[in-house]
Structure 1
Amino acid sequence: MAFSMFKSCTTLALTSLFLTSAAAPTARQAPNYAPTAQSDTFKVIANVTGTDLPQSVNGWALTSYHLSAGSGYAVLVDPTTPSRDFYINGTASEVRFNSATVVSDGGSPPFPWGMVVNSPANTVSIKAGMGEQGLGLTIFPDPVPKLHGPASAGWYACEAALPSGDAVQLFSMPLGDTAPAGCAQVTLLPQCTEGDGVEHPFANTVNCYPDVAGIDWTVYSA
């Protein structure tokens, strides 16, 4: 009889422990994202997310490759080469509804050069003017600020023979596509800069990274 009572008590204790454990909430690990700062101007830095080029373009910056007066291709250059500062031009409403533009100043006195995606080749230009609506930086609720294109799945960069010499040319990657063989798939991240002192009435304060090259992405959620 004593054994039966002991067995019964043990069973009740184990059942109670199981129910308590099952009912206890478990702590969920919160996502951990790389810290950002804020600025009105930024450089655009490539972060390789797939196959790279023979000479890695990870950490390279976006700038323009001169084609003709007021027109150039978007290319990536190594960190030792001067590159452009950019800003998001538009009202708060235009930013919210994805109709702002990505602009960089050039010339003397400075005037706007905007980013444009050229169909159907998907080349990217930086040319005189305010640029193409639909290009911009991702905003809340996306926790990772990055450059996006109009109806674009992302970006890739390829070695290209251009009129004035070889360069690493940037292309827009349409939805459903992947980077062609021999090209590098990249995410384009904003790196905060102090700007050139030129006032831009419709330049937006954006989230950007203090130092893209210094981020150890293995310790972050994205």
Structure 2
Amino acid sequence: MAFSMFKSCTTLALTSLFLTSTAAPTTRQAPNYAPTSQSDTFKVIANVTGTDLPQSVNGWALTSYHLSAGAGYAVLVDPTTPSRDFYINGTASEVRFNSATVASDGGSPPFPWGMVVNSPANTVSINAGLGEQGLGLTIFPDPVPKLHGPASAGWYACDAALPSGDAVQLFSLPLGDTAPAGCAQVTLLPQCTEGDGVEHPFANTVNCYPDVAGIDWTVYSA
């Protein structure tokens, strides 16, 4: 009887082990990212990732705030206000090694204006010229194209009293820092545009979103 019971238990154990080893393997769900398109010009759209400002800046666009001849601050404006188209200016090698610039056209005839991060205040300017090397859009393997700064963790926006009136001013967020109280931490996303018809010999075709405001981020991995 004892031998028979031992034999039965052994058979059950082996059967269980066999069923476990032959069960269908667990499948890992692939990440799901918001679809992108491509263009060589784009708007820069704010996506609030934390506390917002009293007047929400989610979906607002980046443009320049005039300070003086050839100089301006980077600010966010509501979607009904005209804003700048940007492009990534540089050779393929410069883009690859993070030494391209983020530029926009202005003036008549059009000439380039570029983004610059000003240390140590971390204000962001859009000044006449091609801008500061090291700013650009993230590329493969990052699945989410977004604006990055030189050695910065991201961006934040604050209500500011500027010389010609109040505005929502953009700042660079250094690595290891958090946005100051009363400001909104934002991710800056490229939204494809058709451009203004100006030829840019070193403008790069980039991944961008057709409509940032229309993305439901809750259904995507990032």
Same fold (TM over 0.5): yes
For 1:43 and 1:21, locate their aligned partners in 2 and report how far apart those are by CA, in whole Å.
53
- C-alpha separation in 2, matches of 1:197 and 1:69: 25
1:26 Cα deviation from its structure 2 partner: 1.1
The alpha carbon displacement at 1:19 in A equals 5.2
Moved runs in structure 1, 4+ residues, more than 2 A? Answer: 1-7, 9-25
Measured in 2, the distance between the counterparts of 1:190 and 1:40 equals 11
1:39 and 1:190 map into 2 onto residues whose CA distance is 10
- Count of paired positions: 222
String of CA shifts for 1:88-146, please: whole Å, max 9, x gaps: 00000000000000000000100000000001100000000010000000000000000
| RMSD of equivalent CA atoms | 2.0
**How is 1:106-117 mapped onto 2 (pairs within 5 angstroms)?**
106-117=106-117
Provide the residue aligned with 1:213 in structure 2: 213
| Cα drift, residue 20 of structure 1 | 3.2
Q: Which runs of 5+ in 1 are unaligned?
A: none
Cα drift, residue 13 of structure 1: 6.5
2-structure distance, mates of 1:134, 1:18: 57
Alpha-carbon deviations, 1:61-111, whole Å to 9, x = none?
000000001110000000000000000000000000000000000001000
- Report SS of the residue matched to 2:44: strand
Residue 56 of structure 2 is aligned to residue 48 of structure 1: no
TM-score by length of 2: 0.94
Matched residues in 2 for 1:9 and 1:192: separation? Answer: 66
| Identity rate, percent | 96
In structure 2, C-alpha distance between the alignment counterparts of 1:102 and 1:52, rounded to whole Å: 26
